[in-house]
Structure 1
Amino acid sequence: MKNLTKKIVVFFTAIFLSISLGSVSFADGHGKKILFSIKGPGSGNPFWASVTKGAEEEAKKLGVKLILIAPPQEGDVQAQINQVEDQLAKGVDALALAPGDPNAFAPIVDDAIKSGVPVVFVDTKGINEGVTFIGTNNMNGAELAAKFICDKTPKGSDVAILTGIESQSTALLRRDGAIKGFKNCGLNIVATQTAEWDTAKGRSVTESIILKNPNIKAIFASNDNMGLGAMQALKDADMNDVVVVGFDATPDAATSILKGEMTATIAQFSYNMGAYGVKYALELANGGSIDINIDTGTQLVTKANANDFK
C-alpha cells in the first residue's frame, strides 16, 4: 500500500511539474511569433549584424519563434513595406520594427495595432502616438561626439557633418545634436550633407567638401560607414590631421581608431536593440505594459577603449 501511495504521489507531482513548466514556457514565449523588421541586411553591415544576433539569441532564450526580415539594401523602403505587410497577413503576435521611413510606415503600424498586433520601434523612432521606442538617444550621442570634437579643435574652426538618410529620424536627430554641440562651442559648420549611411558616398561627399573647404579641421559622420569613407578621402588628400568622429562603434571603426586613423566614435549598443526588441515585443504580446522610451545607451570610444569594440 505504501508503494502504491508513493507511486500516486510521484505521478501527480510529475503532472504538476509538467503543467508548471509548460505555463512558464508559455509565459516566456512558447508559441509566440515575433516579426522583426530591420532596415538593411546584416551581411556587410556590422550594425545590423549585431542587431540580428541580439534578436536571435534573445528569441532562443525566451522560446520565441522569430521571423527576422530585411530589404535587399538599406533605403529600399518599398521592399521593407512589402515584406512587413506580407508577414502581417500571415499572422504574427507582435512586431519589432526599425522603419526605413517612419512616415511611410505610419499607416501600417496603425493597422497592425488595430488588428491586435502590438508594435515596438527599434533604432528609429516612428511617428505613431503611444508606440514604444527602443534605441539610442541619438541627439545626446551626437552632442557627445560634438563635445569631443570641440575639445580637440580650436574655437572658430571649420567643421562638417555627414548625415544619414534624411527621411529617418535617426539621421535628423544625430544631425541636430551635432549642430547644437558645435554651435555651443563656437565651431563653424561649413557643410551638412547626406551620404546616406554609405561608405562610398561618405568618401565622395567628403572629397567634395574638402575641395571647397581645404581648411576643415573636423568631420562628424553620423555612422561609422560614412566616417570610414571620409577617412579614406582625407588620406587620399594627405589631410591626416583632420579629426573624424563616427557613430556606431563597429569593429572596423575600432580598428581604424587603434591605427590612428579615425579619432573616435560613439558606441550604441546594437546587440541590446535586437535583444530588447524581442523581449519587449513579447512582453506586449503577453498583455504586459512597457515604458514609452527604452534607452539602450551610448559611450564615447577612443584609442583608450577601442579594443573593447573590435
Structure 2
Amino acid sequence: MNRYLQGAAVAAILVGAAGAASAADWFPYPVESWDPPFDMASPRTSVEYVPLDKASKPWELCVSFPHMKDAYWLGVDYGVSEEAKRLGVKMQLVEAGGYTELQKQVSQIEDCVAAGADAVIIGAISFDGLNNLVSEIRKKDIPVIDVINGMSSPELSAKSLVSFGEMGAKAGQFLAEAHPAGSETVKVGWFPGPAGAGWVEAGNTGFIGAVDGSAVEVVETKYGDTGKEAQSKLVEDTLEAHPDLDYIVGTAVTAEAAVPILRDRGLTDQVKVLSYYFTPGVDQGIRRGQILAAPTDSTVIQGRIAVDQAVRILEGKDYMKHVGPALYVVSQDTIKDFDPSSTLAPDGFKPVFRVE
C-alpha cells in the first residue's frame, strides 16, 4: 500500500492537475483501473478516463444513497445528476436516511426497479447486506454499479470507487510522518464512521496500519453514524475521557463537528483535527487553519463515472469494470493549488432527486 502514498510534493502536483478540468468539461480525468476487478489488492493501471459524448436513448437510471445528511453525498449527487444531464439520460435518486436504514435502502431500490429502471447505481449502506438484492436485480439483466462505498457481491456489473483503505492510510501516514517512532507519543481519538459499512472497515484498517510503529497512540476508536449530532456526541465523550488528547481524526463530519467543540472548550491549540475524506466544511477548515489536511477521492468524478459506466453497459460499449480517481492529500500547504470542482458541489447547489 505504501507505494501509493504520496508526499507533499507529489500531492501538490496532483492537486494542480486535478484542477485543470472544469465542471463542464471534466475529462479526461486521471484514474486508476483495477485488473482483475473487484479486488482492491489487484494490480492497477493509471489511465485517463473519457466518457461517452451522449447516450443513444434516454435510459432510466435508479440511484440509491445511504443518506443526504452531509455535503459529501451532495457532491456525489451533483456528479450523477450533472452527468445524467450531459449524457441525456433520466435519473431517479432515492436516499435511505442513514446508515441504520439498510432495509429501507433495499425497499427503495426494489421499488425503483419495479418502476422500470434500466440500471441501478448504489452507494451501499452495508458491504454485505445488499448482495441478495444485487443477485435478484442481475437476474433481470439490469446492470448494477457500486459507487463510493463498496459491496462484496461478485455479481456487480462495475465499480466506481476508490480504496478507502488507502484514504485512511493517507491520513495515518500524515500523522506518522509528523510523529515518527522515537519521538514523543501523541494520543489520537479515531472516528472511522458507521460500523459495518465497507468503506469504514477499510478506512479503519488503512489508518491503523499506517500509524503502526510510529509515535501515534490510538487511545479511543468510536464508531457511529455520520450525522453531525452523532459525531458531536462521540467527540465530546472522547474529550471527557481523554483530557490529554492531541488529535481528533475521522470522518469529514467528525472533523467539522470537532472544530466548534474544541473552540468552545478552549482546546483549539491543544487538539488538532484531521479528516480522512473531503467535504466543503473540511475545505473551509483547511483554508482557515482549523483542520490540518484531508485526502480527496474526487467524489463528484466517482458519481459521473458511475453514470457513464451504466450507460456504456446498457449500450453494449467498452467500459472499465473497476475504476476510481487517483487519490491525493490536500493540506494547509497545498490548498491554494486545489480546485474543488472534482470533489465538491458548487456553492448554492440544491439536492437533485430527478433528472428528466
- For the superposition of Structure 1 and Structure 2, which TM-score range results when normalised by the shorter chain? 0.7 to 0.9
Aligned pairs for 1:168-247 (under 5 A) are 168-221=197-250, 223-240=251-268, 241-247=270-276
Structure 2 counterpart of 1:31: 58
| Higher relative contact order (Cα pairs below 8 Å, separated by 6+ residues) | 2
Residues in 2 aligned to 1:58 and 1:29: alpha-carbon distance in whole angstroms: 14
Aligned pairs for 1:94-133 (under 5 A) are 94-131=119-156, 132-133=158-159
Structure 2 counterpart of 1:138: 164
Do the aligned residues in 2 keep the contact of 1:97 with 1:120 (CA within 8 Å)? yes
RMSD of aligned Cα (Å):
2.1
Length-normalised TM-score, structure 1: 0.84
Structure 1 counterpart of 2:28: none
The change in CA–CA distance for 1:190 and 1:267 in structure 2 (over 3 A counts) is same
Do the aligned residues in 2 keep the contact of 1:36 with 1:69 (CA within 8 Å)? yes
Q: Secondary structure at the match of 1:185?
A: coil
Which structure has the greater CA radius of gyration?
1
CA distances 1:74-119 after superposition (whole Å, capped 9, x unpaired): 5422222111100111222111111112322111100111110011
Structure 2 counterpart of 1:14: none
Q: Report the Cα offset of residue 268 of structure 1.
A: 1.7
Structure 2 counterpart of 1:66: 91
Give the count of matched residue pairs.
283
Q: Report the Cα offset of residue 48 of structure 1.
A: 1.2
Do the aligned residues in 2 keep the contact of 1:47 with 1:270 (CA within 8 Å)? yes
Q: Report the Cα offset of residue 269 of structure 1.
A: 0.9
Q: Secondary structure at the match of 2:128?
A: helix
Residues in 1 aligned to 2:238 and 2:73: alpha-carbon distance in whole angstroms: 28
Do the aligned residues in 1 keep the contact of 2:293 with 2:331 (CA within 8 Å)? yes
Length-normalised TM-score, structure 2: 0.74
Residues in 1 aligned to 2:325 and 2:333: alpha-carbon distance in whole angstroms: 22
Q: Which moved more, 1:238-247 or 1:48-57?
A: 238-247
More helix by share: 1
* Residue 80 of structure 2 is aligned to residue 51 of structure 1: no
Q: Report the Cα offset of residue 29 of structure 1.
A: 4.0
Structure 2 unaligned spans of 5+: 1-51, 345-356
Residue 144 of structure 1 aligns with an amino acid whose one-letter code is: K
Q: Report the Cα offset of residue 126 of structure 1.
A: 0.7
Do the aligned residues in 2 keep the contact of 1:202 with 1:228 (CA within 8 Å)? no
Do the aligned residues in 2 keep the contact of 1:99 with 1:105 (CA within 8 Å)? yes
Residue 47 of structure 1 aligns with an amino acid whose one-letter code is: Y
Q: Report the Cα offset of residue 289 of structure 1.
A: 5.0
Residues in 1 aligned to 2:187 and 2:109: alpha-carbon distance in whole angstroms: 43
Q: Report the Cα offset of residue 138 of structure 1.
A: 0.7
Q: Secondary structure at the match of 1:139?
A: helix
Residues in 2 aligned to 1:273 and 1:290: alpha-carbon distance in whole angstroms: 14
Residues in 2 aligned to 1:86 and 1:202: alpha-carbon distance in whole angstroms: 31
Do the aligned residues in 1 keep the contact of 2:67 with 2:98 (CA within 8 Å)? yes
Residues in 2 aligned to 1:184 and 1:288: alpha-carbon distance in whole angstroms: 47
The change in CA–CA distance for 1:116 and 1:213 in structure 2 (over 3 A counts) is same
Residues in 2 aligned to 1:270 and 1:33: alpha-carbon distance in whole angstroms: 22
Q: Report the Cα offset of residue 27 of structure 1.
A: 7.3
* Residue 98 of structure 2 is aligned to residue 85 of structure 1: no
